[in-house]
Amino acid sequence: MRKLFFIFVTVIGFLQIPMQSINAQSMKKEEVPQNISAFPLGKENTGFKQYFTGESWLAPLTGNKDLNVPMSNVTFEPGCRNNWHSHTGGQILIAVGGVGYYQERGKAARRLLPGDVVEIAPDIEHWHGAAPDSWFSHLAIGCNPQTNKNIWLEQVDDQQYAEATKDNGGTGLSATDPELDAIFGNFTKEVQQYGNLDTKTRLMVTLASNIASQAQTEYRMMLESALNAGITPIEIKEILYQAVAYAGMAKVMDFVGITNEALLAHGVRLPLEGQAVVSAETRFDKGLALQKSIFGERIDQMHKNAPENQKHIQRYLSANCFGDYQTRGGLDVKTRELLTFSILVSLGGCESQVKGHIQGNVNVGNNKDTLLAVVTQLLPYIGYPRTLNAIACLNEVIPEK
C-alpha cells in the first residue's frame, strides 16, 4: 500500500517518455547510452555472447602485453548478466556506472554502485551483471594473466536472478509493519485527491520537503518516481541547489550523493550542463533585482533599515540566496517559490519566513488554493503540527473571505 503513489507515477512516466533505465530489449541500437560511465562503451560483446543472458558491450582499455594487466570496461543492459563462471587466476571488478550485482555460489548477492570494488579469488564460482532496471558498467581486471583462464558454467536462470536482485530481502515496511504500511499508503493516496496540483508539481514539492525533513528513504522512492514521470535531471538538481539556501549544505549534501547515484543508474552523464547566469561581479545586482521583482520595494527598506552590524546578512541574502541560487536556470520563478515554501514549512520553526514567502508566492502567481494543496500533499510526510502551523501562516497572510 505504501508504494501506491510510487507505482502510480511510475506508470504515468512509462506512458510518457521513458528514461534510459527501461528494458533495453525494446530500445534501438542507437539509443544505447554512450555515457553510462567515463569509460568508452566499446563494441557489442559478440565474442562472449553465448555466456551472457542479454546484451553486453566490451571496451578493452589496456594493450601493452609487457605490463600484464589486461583491463576492459564491460557494459550490461538492464537485466543482463553473465553465466556462473570462475577464473583460475582470479579477477578484480570496479563498478564505474549504474547499478549492478555480484554473487558468489552459495552466498547472498552484493549490490554494486560506482566506486565499489570486488576482489574475486581464484576458482570462486560467481556471476555479475546489471540490476533489472538499470544499465551497469564495470572494469574487469584479469589477475595472473599468464595462467588465468575462464571456466564458463551454466546460465543464471530467471528465478535465481530475481531472487538475487529482489529489494531488501523482504525486510521492507510491508513485510515488518504491514498495518503501518497500509495506513500510510492509504493516506498518501487520500491527500493526492485534494486540490489541482499536477503529478509533476506534487513530486517536486515532495522531493523538496523530503530534503528539508532529512527523509532519505522517502526521497529515494520519490526520486525514481520523478525520473519516470518526466522530471528532468536538471530540474531535480535545481531542487537540491535551491534547498541549500534554505536548509543548509549540511542537510542537503547526502541528498546530492543519493541523486548522483540514481542519475548514474539511469545513464545520465555528470556533471550536468551548468545553469548559473551570474558572475562574482553581477551576483549582487542580479540577486537584488530578482528579490525586488518578487517582494517589491520593501527589499530596499530591509537593506536600509538593517543595523550596521547586520547589513552583511542582507547583502548575503541578495547576492547568495537570490543571486547564486534563485537566478539559476532550470526552474521558473513560480516553481522556485513553491519549492521554497515547501522547504520552509517542512523545516519547522520558520514561521516568519513562511509568511514572507507566502506573500512572495502570491506575488508570482501561486494563489492560496495552490499553497493549501501543497501543504495537504506534504501532510503525511511532515505531520500535523507543522502542517497546522503552515495553515495558520497561510490564513494570516491570506485571510479566508
Q: What is the pLDDT of residue 369?
A: 98
- Is residue 314 situated within a structural domain? no
Check whether residue 221 and residue 119 sit in a common domain: no
Instruction: Judge if the upstream peptide bond of residue 271 is cis by omega within 30 degrees of 0.
Output: yes
Check whether residue 237 and residue 94 sit in a common domain: no
Check whether residue 233 and residue 210 sit in a common domain: yes
- Is residue 251 situated within a structural domain? yes
Alpha helices in 266-382 (DSSP H): 283-295, 298-305, 311-316, 333-347, 351-364, 368-382
Q: What is the pLDDT of residue 174?
A: 63
Q: What is the pLDDT of residue 15?
A: 34
Between the CA of residue 370 and those of 196, 206, 347, 367, what are the distances in Å? 7, 14, 20, 5
pLDDT per position as a tens digit, 223-249: 988 887 889 999 999 999 999 999 999
Between the CA of residue 34 and those of 73, 133, 137, what are the distances in Å? 12, 17, 11
3-state class (DSSP) for residue 239 = helix
Residue where a domain stops, chosen among 163, 193, 224: 163
Check whether residue 139 and residue 227 sit in a common domain: no
Produce one character per residue of 27-60: b if its CB has 16 or more CB atoms within 10 Å, e if not.
beeeebbeebbebebbeebeeeeebbbbbbbbbe
Task: In whole angstroms, give the CA distance from residue 3 to residue 32.
Answer: 30
- Is residue 367 situated within a structural domain? yes
Task: In whole angstroms, give the CA distance from residue 57 to residue 385.
Answer: 53
Task: In whole angstroms, give the CA distance from residue 113 to residue 265.
Answer: 8
Is residue 46 a contact partner of residue 149, using CB atoms and an 8 Å limit?
no
- Is residue 12 situated within a structural domain? no
Is residue 377 a contact partner of residue 205, using CB atoms and an 8 Å limit?
yes
Q: What is the pLDDT of residue 169?
A: 40
CATH number at residue 99: 2.60.120.10
pLDDT per position as a tens digit, 42-101: 999 999 999 999 999 999 999 888 888 999 999 999 999 999 999 999 999 999 998 899
Check whether residue 187 and residue 148 sit in a common domain: no
Is residue 314 a contact partner of residue 306, using CB atoms and an 8 Å limit?
yes
Q: What is the mean pLDDT of each run of 10 residues along the chain (401 residues)?
A: 43 35 39 81 94 95 88 94 96 94 92 93 96 91 92 92 68 71 91 95 97 93 86 97 98 95 85 97 98 95 96 98 98 98 97 98 98 98 98 97 83
- Residue range of the domain that includes 63: 41-163
Query: What is the share, in percent, of the chain residues with pLDDT greater than 90?
Result: 73
Residue where a domain stops, chosen among 139, 163, 187: 163
Check whether residue 100 and residue 234 sit in a common domain: no
- Is residue 195 situated within a structural domain? yes
Give the bridge partners for 100, in sequence order: 112, 130
- What is the SS3 string spanning 146-159? CCCCEEECCCCCHH
Check whether residue 94 and residue 128 sit in a common domain: yes
- Is residue 368 situated within a structural domain? yes
Beta strands in 195-339 (DSSP E): none
Task: In whole angstroms, give the CA distance from residue 370 to residue 197.
Answer: 7
Check whether residue 113 and residue 66 sit in a common domain: yes
Centre a 10 Å sphere on the Cβ of residue 202 and count the other Cβ atoms it contains: 23
Residue where a domain stops, chosen among 135, 163, 191: 163
Q: Which long-range contacts (CB under 8 A, 24 or more apart) does 67-72 make?
A: 68/145, 68/146, 69/141, 69/142, 69/145, 70/141, 70/142, 70/145, 71/139, 71/140, 71/141, 71/142, 72/42, 72/139, 72/140
**Structurally, how many domains does the chain consist of?**
2
- Is residue 78 situated within a structural domain? yes
- In the block, residue with C-alpha cell 570496479: 94
Check whether residue 246 and residue 270 sit in a common domain: yes
Check whether residue 151 and residue 193 sit in a common domain: no
3-state helix, strand, coil in the chain (%, to 5): 55, 15, 35
Cell of 354: 513562511
Element (H, E) at 11: helix 4-15
- Is residue 280 situated within a structural domain? no
Check whether residue 248 and residue 371 sit in a common domain: yes
CATH number at residue 230: 1.20.1290.10
Check whether residue 124 and residue 202 sit in a common domain: no
Determine if residue 365 is left, alpha or beta; phi over 0 gives left, psi from -120 to 50 gives alpha, anything else beta. left
From the list 123, 129, 121, 126, the residue with the least C-alpha distance to 52 is 129
